[in-house]
Every structure is written in C-alpha cells, then in structure tokens.
Structure 1
Amino acid sequence: MRTAYRALASLIALAVVLQVASIALAGFTIAADAEDGATIGADYSNFGESYHSMAGTAIGLLALIFLIVSFLTDVPRGRLLAGVVVGLVVLQFLLAVVSFGIPALGILHGINGLAIAGVAGAASRRASTPVVAGA
C-alpha cells in the first residue's frame, strides 16, 4: 500500500503542475485570441480553461482516494498529510468559486495550488522512506 500511497501523492503533485501549465495556456490563448479580434465573452472558452476545470475535478477525486489509501498504509503521518491535501483541495474549490466574484482572491487560489503540490510531494517522499523496526 505504500506504493499506492506514493503513486497517488506523486500523481496529485504532477496534476497540480499540469493545472498551472493549463491556466497559463488559457491566459496566453485569451490574449492571442483577443489580439486576433475574437470576442471574449461569457460563451468564450479555450482548451486551457476546459482542461483546468476538468483536471481540478480529477484532483479532487484523487485526493479522496489518497485519503482512503492513507488509512491502509503505515506511512508515518500519512493520514495527516492526506487529510491536509484533502483540506487544501476543498479550500481550492472554495477559492475558485469565490474568485469569480472577487478576482483578487485568485491569487490565493494560485498559492494554494502550489501548497497542494508541496504537501503531496512531501507525502510522496515520506512514503519513500523505509520504516525502521522498533523506532
């Protein structure tokens, strides 16, 4: 189960990296489309935006699976780290919803995404550390 824990933690961290890339792609696509004369309105969408939305949902599901797996492994503080990841993912969703009304809060959405990747990466590294018998 350590391997599953480590794989899920690494997958979540990688998924967040792809989230950062996709939102950058969305922003540059919007700028290029606007420069080309496209109307950017409520019905406008591009691949980066669509991917970011769908992948965010997938990260939420991965985080829940990660939490379940954390109860089946002996990773030191594994449940705590998985719980923190789930909490940060919930906060991420709330920040996304609120940021549409208060765009400046989008800064916190970005920072929190990096926190998710950091905690998931730390969990992956912790799962890679061998358990010392009697310690």
Structure 2
Amino acid sequence: MRSAYRAVSGLILLGVVVQLVVIAAAWFQVLNDVDNGGVFDNNTRNWAHNAHSVVGMMVIPLLAVALLVISFFAGVPNGVRYALLVFGAVVLQIVLAFASYSVPGLGALHGLNALAVAGLAENAMRKARVARQMPAAVA
C-alpha cells in the first residue's frame, strides 16, 4: 500500500504540473486568437481551458480522495496527516477557483495554493519513499 500511496501522491503532483501547462497554453491561445481578430468574451474557451477544468475539478479531487483512503492502510508515518493536508488544499483550491469569478483578486491565491498542493503531494510522496526504505519495526 505504500507504493500506492506514493504513486497517487505522484499523480497529484503530476496533475498540478499539467494544470500549470494547460492554463498557460489556454491563455496564450486566447491572446493569439485576439491578435488574429478573435473576440475575448464569456464564450472564450479552448481545449486547454477545458483540460484545466477536467483535471482540476475531477481528476485531482478523485486522486486526493483516493490518497486519503489509501493513507489509512499504507502504514506511512504521518501518512494520514499528509493525505488530509493534500485533501484540504485541493478543497481550498476548488473553493478559490469558484470564488475568483466573483473576486478576481482571489485568483492569485488560487495560483499560490496550487503550489501548496504540489508541495504537499511531493512531501507525501517522499514520506512514502522514505518509509519504504525503513525496516518495518522502525516505520
């Protein structure tokens, strides 16, 4: 189960990286479209905006729930605590995303919290790797 804990933590980290890549691609595509005579309005969405929504609203939250469930069986020292922190940061990320539509300045916190999600997931992944290397009596 430690391997599953480590793998899911790594997938969450990878998901955040994908989020960063696709949102940058989304807005550069919008800028390119506007430069070529397109209009920026409420209907301006492209493949990368859609990917950002799917990964952020479905994939990462499901992985965070999976990590939390796995954490109870993985035997990773402080694994449940890290899984709860990851889960809480993911929930906060979703709240910040929706709140940013009403209060655009919160978008900065949405971006900053993404880094927190990545850092917490990386920490959880590292804890599982270190726990795997320890003898069972020490862990």
TM-score (norm 2): 0.94
Alpha-carbon separation, structure 2, partners of 1:48 and 1:54: 10
Q: Secondary structure at the match of 2:73?
A: coil
CA shift for structure 1 position 134: 4.3
Match status 1:122 vs 2:127: no
Provide Cα deviations, 1:39-80, integer angstroms capped at 9, x if missing partner. 122222111110000001210011001100000111000000
Correspondence for 1:84: 85
Partner Cα separation in structure 2 for residue 10 and residue 48 of structure 1: 22
Specify every segment of 5 or more residues in structure 2 that has no aligned partner in the other structure, as ranges: none
Over the aligned positions, Cα root-mean-square deviation in angstroms equals 1.0
Unaligned runs of 5+ in 1: none
Which of residues 123, 129, 134 is equivalent to 1:131?
134
- The superposition leaves residues 68-116 of structure 1 with CA deviations (integer Å, 9 ceiling, x where unpaired) of 0000111000000000000000000000001011111100000100100
Partner of residue 20, structure 2: 20
Q: CA deviation at 1:131?
A: 3.0
* Stretches of 4+ aligned residues off by more than 3 angstroms: none
Is 1:95 aligned to 2:96, yes or no?
Answer: yes
Question: In the alignment, is the contact (CA less than 8 A) between 2:30 and 2:44 conserved in 1?
Answer: no
Q: Which residue of 2 aligns with 1:36?
A: 36
Q: TM-score, with normalisation over the residues of structure 1?
A: 0.96
Percentage of pairs with the same residue: 44
Q: How far apart are the structure 1 equivalents of 2:112 and 2:67? A: 21
